[in-house]
């Protein structure tokens, strides 16, 4: 499994999307960052498994090393792309459980493909026809992040199912856009210092999330968790985050990794960027 995981770090976004598009009954739409692949599941109680194909290092070729159970980069100007190739690898490992799959491009540019998919009525209807969504795109070892797409009942269920995992906060990811009528959760997959050359992936933590997810998703009669949204994250501009919902919510841009971070997250992370962990020297999102 370790050697298979390494392969994912060397794929391009196109490689990832084509790999999933090769599965039976796949639906692929869009070009460049708008491209997504959706594979409908066969189960009646199907869950939508989500990951994104792009990384912030799309134009660089990584060089990966594995020491003491940790993947890291041998290059000074390129990370390993575990955000979110590690998530894609988990979804691929779970593909035979009968659940649906959604792989998006352009997450790092503002959930471009997810916005595009949500704008297509027939695709959006299919995406909402699930019990809930799980995205594999969270740093750390044991976080469950719900953004504004988790009800009290769904959070309680997830905490019970993923024993040892805890609720945390986050800025945004694909499920922030995709989950309109059903709940969603983003779960830790073992990476740290994403968007930097210091990025690492702890293999045991990645494997733990994979096996816990396999156990949860192998159950029969998985419940459905519906959602009533009071705001729509699709107001993010697909191509320019400078004109987006972030302006309304007072977010700041990290000068190190260029991520847009909510003020609440900065203050609750000891004035450090929650994505790259550097001390924040931030400017307001334009």
Distance between CA atoms of 55 and 105, rounded to whole angstroms? 9
Show me where the domains of the chain are located: 1-218, 237-285
* pLDDT for the residue 150: 95
* pLDDT for the residue 68: 96
pLDDT grade for 240, boundaries at 50, 70 and 90: very low
Q: What is the DSSP letter of 34?
A: G
pLDDT at 84 over 60: yes
SS3 36: strand
- Report the percentage of the chain scoring pLDDT > 90: 63
| Interval 273-285 mean pLDDT | 54
Q: Which of the pair, 207 or 279, is modelled with greater confidence?
A: 207
User: Any idea which of 15-24, 112-121, 141-150, 262-271 has the lowest mean pLDDT?
Assistant: 262-271
* pLDDT for the residue 244: 34
| Interval 6-33 mean pLDDT | 94
Mean pLDDT of the chain: 86
Q: What tokens does 134 get?
A: 């799980």
- Taking only the tens place, the pLDDT of each residue in 90-102 is 999 999 999 999 9
User: Any idea which of 4-18, 91-105, 129-143 has the lowest mean pLDDT?
Assistant: 4-18
The residues near 51 (Cβ < 8 Å, ≥ 6 apart) are: 84, 87, 88, 90, 91, 103, 104, 135, 136, 137
pLDDT at 178 over 60: yes
Distance of CA 165 to the CA centre of its chain: 17
pLDDT grade for 31, boundaries at 50, 70 and 90: very high
The residues near 35 (Cβ < 8 Å, ≥ 6 apart) are: 17, 28, 29, 105, 106, 113
Distance between CA atoms of 223 and 41, rounded to whole angstroms? 16
* pLDDT for the residue 245: 34
Q: What is the DSSP string of 105-168?
A: S-GGGTSHHHHHHHTSHHHHHHHHSSS-EEEEEE-SSSEEE-TTS--HHHHHHHHHHSTT-EEE
Distance between CA atoms of 172 and 222, rounded to whole angstroms? 26
Q: What is the DSSP letter of 82?
A: H
* pLDDT for the residue 276: 57
CATH architecture assigned to 1-218 = 3-Layer(aba) Sandwich (3.40)
* pLDDT for the residue 71: 95
pTM score, two decimals?
Answer: 0.81
| Interval 19-45 mean pLDDT | 97
* pLDDT for the residue 241: 38
pLDDT at 236 over 60: no
- What b/e readout covers 154-185, taking b as 16+ CB neighbours within 10 angstroms? bbebbeebbeebeebebbbbbbbbbbbebbbb
Residue 219 burial (C-beta neighbours within 10 Å; 0-12, 13-18, 19+): exposed
pLDDT at 51 over 50: yes
């Amino acid at each position: 499994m370790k050697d298979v995981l390494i392969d994912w770090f060397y794929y391009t976004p196109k490689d990832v999307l084509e790999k999933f598009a090769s599965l039976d009954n796949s639906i692929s739409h869009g070009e460049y960052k708008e491209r997504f692949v959706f594979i409908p599941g066969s189960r009646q109680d199907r869950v939508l498994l989500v990951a994104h194909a792009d990384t912030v290092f799309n134009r660089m070729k990584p060089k990966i090393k594995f020491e003491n159970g940790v993947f890291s980069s041998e290059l000074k100007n390129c990370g390993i792309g575990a955000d979110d190739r590690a998530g894609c690898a988990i979804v691929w490992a779970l593909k035979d459980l009968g659940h649906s799959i959604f792989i998006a491009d352009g997450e790092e540019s503002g959930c471009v493909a997810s916005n595009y998919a949500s704008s297509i009525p027939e695709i959006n209807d299919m995406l909402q026809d699930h019990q809930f969504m799980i995205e594999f795109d969270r740093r750390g070892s044991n976080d469950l992040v719900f953004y504004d797409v988790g009800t009290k009942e769904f959070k309680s269920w997830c905490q019970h199912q993923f024993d040892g995992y805890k609720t945390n906060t986050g800025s945004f990811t694909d499920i922030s856009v995709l989950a309109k009528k059903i709940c969603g959760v983003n779960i830790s997959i073992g990476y740290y210092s994403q968007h930097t050359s210091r990025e690492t992936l702890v293999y045991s933590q990645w494997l733990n999330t994979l096996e816990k997810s396999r156990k949860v998703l192998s159950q029969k009669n998985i419940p459905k968790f519906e959602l009533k949204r009071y705001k729509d994250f699709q107001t993010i501009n697909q191509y320019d985050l400078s004109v987006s919902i972030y302006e309304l919510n007072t977010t700041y841009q990290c000068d190190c990794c260029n991520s847009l971070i909510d003020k609440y997250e900065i203050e609750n992370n000891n004035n450090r960027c929650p994505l790259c962990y550097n001390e924040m020297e931030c400017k307001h999102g334009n």
